[in-house]
């Protein structure tokens, strides 16, 4: 064998590789295979990036709010009371004009796929349907739209846009690592956990939100990375804003047996409010879109009308403006009379539905906390008038109501319970909330057939409320599991039943059963629709079983 022998040359080259090159190759392999230590490193980086992204979104909202209302604090309602009604009306109206321009430009340039900003539902869809992959430009442009929307007074929440931005950045920064779909989904959840943790200064709740809402499971491999990212997000928030929670919490008085019994009707009332909120927030955008289409009015032109409507409401009740943390804190502290609480519940509900229907950017987390706090404070005020000092007071019921409504709306009873516990440090209030939110969630989901986010995902034809078993039937296509055939030997048109290459697995299996056939040719959807493959019933069932096994392993290991 000569020196020029390829095999010998390859052997000689292997030891010559530098330690740095071998380390880089080792890291790439570790990330691609989704090894736990590699995911922890990626989770740490994502937690830092997503945490600062959540703070950046908050800063952007504050800057727009300063321009619109000459105030950068959470005390927006108080600041708005010092302004004239025309200024209050003008702020969301002008904000709507700017949002309208951003939507038009985003659609024209292809930066957003639909005439709306992204939110938590897009993160859930990316996890379930797209292998954890999200568009960076969509995330950044949606964050800009949300900043203008909320800073100008739009009645919505900033946590949803923060989760979307954090998850988008997580997907973008880890994409070059060549992560497997399972690892990419875990890192996506890390971005969401860090964003929630940074928003509420609640690391345990941030992690549970990622498990409960984004991932939909508590697999052992995902626990450590998500926990790391969530803790990093909380540390970022505490570094810049201190250890104080998102809004001031009152002291909670010890609860009696009567109080724990009273949370049962409060949970039922929270379910009623959550149902009304979900149905209105889901159907209003659809009805407005249908009406705009009938009038040949583009969706990107809707925000100014929504801004005008919100401004008119805010001129009478400035508490509906923005995320509403000041009003939520006042309700928790018992700062409103019974009639005021009832009025603010109705006005906030209307203002939030208008904001979402008019294509402003924003989420539903803060509005659901607001509505729940107002409902609980109203319930507590009535209970106090009836039973006096025998109850724990309005603050106790306001905290329970806040968690019950938000947990039912988001479909996240555990994480909202933990948020309340981290905010109040009250064990009794958390136990009472667990009872109320469980009841509220069960009643709400029995009526709406899913959380608010599930209903949003359904607009794209995917049902995530039943778990991944149904999603698999909606995502695997015939071309992915068929046996290819030689086009030269295949007939151009079949004599009997056939399926198209882009038909979903669920339709195919239903078709085979309805026609009582064991398989069918697969035709191309375009061109002359020639036969490109054959798919048997056994192959379809085997593909479904393999996908179910893979998802089951991901959810339990």
Helices 257-294 & 338-357, crossing angle to 10 degrees?
30
Query: For residues 191 and 166, what is the distance between their CA atoms, to the nearest angstrom?
Result: 5
Whether 13 is in a domain gets the answer: no
pLDDT, residue 8, reads 43
Quote the crossing angle between the two packed helices 338-357 and 303-316, to the nearest 10°.
170
Q: Is 6 domain-assigned? A: no
Residue 349: CATH number of its domain? 1.10.3080.10
d(CA 71, CA 73): 6
- Domain C-terminal end among 241, 265, 280: 241
Tell me how far apart the alpha carbons of residues 557 and 331 are, in angstroms, rounded to a whole number: 43
pLDDT at 376: 94
One DSSP character per residue, 104-160 reads HHHHHHTS-SSSS---HHHHHHHHHHSTT---HHHHHHHHHHHHHHHHTT-SSBSHH
284 lies in the same domain as 215: no
> Residue ranges of the chain with pLDDT lower than 70?
1-36, 245-248, 390, 487-495
Boundaries of domain holding 500: 468-556
Residues 176 and 38 in one domain: yes
Residue 555 to residue 369: CA distance in whole angstroms: 30
Tokens of 322: 């923005």
Asked whether residue 426 falls in the same domain as residue 502, the answer is: no
For residues 344 and 443, state if they share a domain: yes
The last residue of one of the domains, among 181, 211, 241, is: 241
- The pTM of the full predicted model, rounded to 2 decimals, is 0.87
CB atoms within 10 A of CB 281: 23
Angstrom distances, CA of residue 198 to CA of 43, 204, 267, 406, 463: 15, 11, 28, 18, 30
Q: Do 326 and 359 belong to one domain?
A: yes
399 token code pair = 């905290």
Give the pLDDT score at 22. Answer: 58
Whether residue 533 contacts residue 479, with contact meaning beta carbons closer than 8 Å, is answered with: yes
Helices (H) and strands (E) in the chain, counts: 24, 4
- Contact (CB, 8 A) for 38 and 27: yes
Per-residue pLDDT, 3: 47
Residue with token string 């700017």? 98
Distance, in Å, from the CA atom of 462 to the CA atom of 475, rounded to the nearest integer, reads: 9
Evaluate whether residue 178 is within a structural domain.
yes
Q: Taking Cα atoms as reference points, which of 269, 245, 236, 540 lies closest to residue 420? A: 245
Compute the 3-state secondary structure of the chain and give helix, strand, coil in percent, each to the nearest 5: 75, 5, 25
What's the pLDDT score for residue 463?
81
How many Cα atoms sit within 13 Å of 335 on the Cβ side? 14
- The count of structural domains within the chain is 3
Find tokens 């030689």 and name the residue. 486
Measured from the Cβ of residue 479, the count of other Cβ atoms closer than 10 Å reads 17
C-alpha to C-alpha distance for 58 and 143, rounded to whole angstroms: 10
Asked if residue 285 and residue 165 are part of one domain, the reply reads no
pLDDT, residue 472, reads 86
Same domain for 177 and 283, yes or no, is: no
3-state DSSP of 31-78 = HHHCCHHHHHHHHHHHHHHHHHHHHHHHHHHHHHHHHHHCCCCCCHHH
Q: Rounded to the nearest 5°, which phi and psi values hold at 291?
A: -70, -40
DSSP state of 557: -
Which residue from 106, 216, 96 is spatially nearest to 156, judged by alpha carbons?
Answer: 96
Residue 58 lies in a domain: yes
Domain annotation covers residue 3: no
How far, in Å, CA of 258 to CA of 78, rounded?
Answer: 36
The rounded distance, in Å, linking the Cα atoms of 259 and 274 is 22
Q: Identify the CA nearest to 267 among candidates 146, 125, 129, 379.
A: 379
Coil, strand or helix: which one is 387? helix
Same domain for 56 and 205, yes or no, is yes
**Token pair 């509505």 is at which residue?**
371
Which CATH number goes with the domain that contains 475?
3.90.1280.20
Report DSSP letters for 165-208, one per residue. Answer: HHHHHHHHHHGGGT--HHHHHHHHHHHHHHHHHHHHT-HHHHHH
d(CA 345, CA 359): 22
The single residue listed with the structure tokens 């393999």 is 546
DSSP state of 306: H
Q: Same domain, yes or no, for 131 and 166?
A: yes
- Alpha helical stretches, state H, 175-302: 181-200, 203-209, 220-241, 257-294
Which residues make Cβ contacts (< 8 Å) with residue 51, sequence separation at least 6?
166, 194, 195, 197, 198, 232, 233, 234, 235, 236, 237
Question: Do 33 and 117 share a domain, yes or no?
Answer: yes
Sign of CA dihedral 385, 390, 395, 396: negative
Same domain, 437 and 412: yes
On whether residue 352 sits in a domain, the answer given is yes
Provide the token pair at 394: 């309005």
Asked if residue 236 and residue 150 are part of one domain, the reply reads: yes
Q: Domain ends where: 182, 213, 241?
A: 241
């Amino acid at each position: 064998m000569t020196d020029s022998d390829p095999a010998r040359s390859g052997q000689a080259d292997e030891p010559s590789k530098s330690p740095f090159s071998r380390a880089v190759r080792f890291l790439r392999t570790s990330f691609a295979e989704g090894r736990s230590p590699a995911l922890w490193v990626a989770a740490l980086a994502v937690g830092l990036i997503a945490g600062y992204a959540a703070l950046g979104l908050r800063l952007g909202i504050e800057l727009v709010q300063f321009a619109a209302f000459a105030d950068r604090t959470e005390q927006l309602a108080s600041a708005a009371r010092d302004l004239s009604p025309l200024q209050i009306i003008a702020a969301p109206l002008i904000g709507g004009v700017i949002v309208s321009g951003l939507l038009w430009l985003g659609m024209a340039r292809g930066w957003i796929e639909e005439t709306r900003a992204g939110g938590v539902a897009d993160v859930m869809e990316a996890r379930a349907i797209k292998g954890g992959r999200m568009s960076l430009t969509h995330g950044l442009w949606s964050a800009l739209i949300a900043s203008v929307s909320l800073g100008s007074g739009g009645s919505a929440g900033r946590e949803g846009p923060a989760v979307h931005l954090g998850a988008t950045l997580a997907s973008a920064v880890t994409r070059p690592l060549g992560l497997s779909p399972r690892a990419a989904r875990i890192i996506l959840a890390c971005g969401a956990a860090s964003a929630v943790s940074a928003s509420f200064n609640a690391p345990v709740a941030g992690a549970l939100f990622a498990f409960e809402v984004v991932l939909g499971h508590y697999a052992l491999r995902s626990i450590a990375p998500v926990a790391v990212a969530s803790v990093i997000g909380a540390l970022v928030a505490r570094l810049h804003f201190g250890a104080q929670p998102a809004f001031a919490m009152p002291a909670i008085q010890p609860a009696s047996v009567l109080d724990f019994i009273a949370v049962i009707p409060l949970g039922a009332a929270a379910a009623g409010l959550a149902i009304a909120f979900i149905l209105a927030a889901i159907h209003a955008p659809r009805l407005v879109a249908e009406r705009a289409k009938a009038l040949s009015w583009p969706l990107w032109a809707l925000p100014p009308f929504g801004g005008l409507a919100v401004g008119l409401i805010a001129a009478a009740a400035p508490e509906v403006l923005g995320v509403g943390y000041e009003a939520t804190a006042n309700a928790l502290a018992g700062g409103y009379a019974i009639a005021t609480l009832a009025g603010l519940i109705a006005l906030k509900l209307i203002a939030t539905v208008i904001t979402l229907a008019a294509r402003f950017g924003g989420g539903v987390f803060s509005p659901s906390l607001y509505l729940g706090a107002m409902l609980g404070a109203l319930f507590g005020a009535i209970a106090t008038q009836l039973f006096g000092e025998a109850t724990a007071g309005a603050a106790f019921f306001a905290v329970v109501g806040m968690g019950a409504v938000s947990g039912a709306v988001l479909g996240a009873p555990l994480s909202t319970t933990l948020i309340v516990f981290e905010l109040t440090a009250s064990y009794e209030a958390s136990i009472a909330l667990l009872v109320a939110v469980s009841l509220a969630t069960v009643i709400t989901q029995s009526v709406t057939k899913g959380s608010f986010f599930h209903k949003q995902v359904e607009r794209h034809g995917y049902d995530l409320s039943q778990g991944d078993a149904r999603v698999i039937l909606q995502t695997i296509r015939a071309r992915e599991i068929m046996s290819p055939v030689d086009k030269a030997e295949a007939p151009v048109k079949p004599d009997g039943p056939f399926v198209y290459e882009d038909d979903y697995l669920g339709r195919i299996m239903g078709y085979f059963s309805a026609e009582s056939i064991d398989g069918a040719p697969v035709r191309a959807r375009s061109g002359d629709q020639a036969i490109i493959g054959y798919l048997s019933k056994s192959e379809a069932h085997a593909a479904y079983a393999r996908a179910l096994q893979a998802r089951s392993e991901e959810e339990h290991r």
